[in-house]
């Protein structure tokens, strides 16, 4: 069995936890395959029983991997979505960051994770993705996101007008700083911070949430994810920002954009005994009443 390990940056405080992970994997005869840029950062600090295998890009990953372990926060885990693509390699997020909503496994649970991988005592959660179609070939080979697609004005420019359509039928014109189309997974991210609703991960829907709308009667709306949502953008500036999760591109107003559900999905692994409701309560303090 082999697992891939990805992280962005190594910090000295992480050394004991990473060493614990590598040691536990090797004791259980699981071969760690390290992201090359990350290995350059840790090779002087981490001891390996033998020289580890390395990978550089998505092309080096295939279905022979049991999973890909992300060491970091939610942003790091979102990076791995562009690495595994449609290869159905499950993702495990170990939280070395702050909130860790997607990367929900604590660093104190490293040995528990390895035991779960060894005995296959984990739960698989399938998460849908959002796919972007454009006539400008935006985002190259990875025009999809786990959390959200967003249109946003640039810097301090004036608000923009976003005309949105569902399967070609006019939905609304949003006078706003931007517009978010979130997956159920992304409903607890950027969309939530803009007063969007929380949606269960298996809800089969998109959440359309305006960013700082200039109309008091404009509210987020939930639509089935079998819709194609298209956009026309107007504004004083000649361009705007288009984002997929943490990736962004500057786009001309003339570019045609539409989003839909991606044809493939992503698999997240979680430990037995944890679930979405527990994560809501523990990470977002959902339902917390300090009077009781």
What is the tens place of the pLDDT at every residue in 231-252?
999 999 899 999 999 999 999 9
User: What confidence score (pLDDT) does residue 292 get?
Assistant: 66
- Residue 188: DSSP 8-state: G
SS (H, E, C) 42-100: HCCCCCCCCCCEEECCHHHCCCCEEEEEEEECHHHHHHHHHHHCCCCCCEEEEECCCCC
Contact 160, 177 (CB under 8 A): yes
Q: 101: pLDDT confidence band, cut at 50, 70 and 90? A: confident
DSSP letter for 202, please.
T
Confidence of residue 289 (pLDDT cuts 50, 70, 90): confident
Where residue 261 falls among pLDDT bands split at 50, 70, 90?
Answer: very high
Q: What percentage of the chain's residues is helix, strand, coil (to nearest 5)?
A: 25, 35, 40
- Contact in structure between 130 and 151 (CB atoms under 8 Å): no
Q: Are 222 and 197 in contact (CB under 8 A)?
A: yes
**Of the listed 62, 74, 177, 245, which one is catalytic?**
74
- Please say if the pLDDT value at position 147 is more than 70: yes
Q: CA dist 198 to 40, 143, 146, 155, 291, Å?
A: 40, 24, 15, 28, 24
Average pLDDT (48-68) is 95
The pLDDT assigned to 220 comes to 97
pLDDT for 73 equals 92
Residues β-bridged to residue 6:
70
> How many Cβ atoms sit within 10 Å of the Cβ of residue 262?
19
184, 218 contact by CB (below 8 A) = no
74 in catalytic set:
yes
Which DSSP state fits 198?
P
In the CATH scheme, what architecture does the domain 2-128+265-284 have? Answer: 3-Layer(aba) Sandwich (3.40)
pTM for this one? 0.94
Instruction: Indicate the domain borders of the chain.
Output: 2-128+265-284, 130-261
pLDDT tops 70 at residue 49? yes
Report the Cα 116 to chain-centroid distance in Å.
Answer: 23
> How many alpha carbons lie under 13 Å from residue 219 in its C-beta half-sphere?
4
Identify the architecture of domain 130-261 in CATH.
Answer: Sandwich (2.60)
Higher pLDDT, 227 or 237: 227
């Amino acid at each position: 069995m082999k697992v891939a390990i990805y992280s962005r940056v190594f910090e000295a405080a992480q050394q004991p936890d990473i060493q614990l992970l590598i040691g536990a994997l090797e004791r259980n005869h699981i071969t760690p395959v390290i992201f090359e840029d990350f290995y350059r950062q840790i090779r002087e600090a981490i001891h390996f029983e033998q020289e580890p295998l390395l990978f550089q890009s998505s092309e080096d990953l295939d279905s022979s991997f049991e999973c890909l372990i992300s060491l970091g926060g939610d942003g790091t885990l979102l990076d791995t979505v562009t690495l595994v693509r449609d290869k159905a390699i499950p993702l495990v997020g170990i939280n070395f960051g702050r909130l860790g909503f997607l990367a929900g496994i604590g660093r104190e649970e490293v040995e528990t994770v390895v035991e779960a991988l060894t005995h296959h005592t984990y739960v698989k959660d399938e998460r849908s993705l959002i796919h972007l179609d454009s006539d400008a070939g935006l985002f190259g080979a990875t025009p999809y996101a786990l959390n959200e697609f967003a249109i946003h004005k640039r810097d301090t420019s004036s608000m923009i007008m976003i005309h949105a359509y569902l399967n070609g039928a006019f939905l609304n014109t949003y006078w706003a700083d931007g517009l978010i189309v979130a997956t159920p997974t992304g409903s607890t991210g950027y969309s939530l911070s803009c007063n969007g609703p929380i949606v269960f991960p298996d809800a089969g829907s998109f959440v359309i949430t305006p960013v700082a709308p200039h109309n008091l009667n404009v509210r987020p709306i939930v639509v089935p994810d079998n819709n194609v949502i298209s956009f026309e953008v107007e504004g004083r500036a000649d361009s705007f920002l288009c984002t997929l999760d943490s990736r962004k591109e500057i786009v001309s107003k003339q570019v045609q954009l539409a989003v839909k559900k991606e044809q493939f999905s992503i698999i997240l692994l979680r430990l037995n005994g944890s679930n979405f409701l527990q994560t809501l309560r523990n990470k977002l303090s959902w339902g917390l009443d300090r009077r009781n």
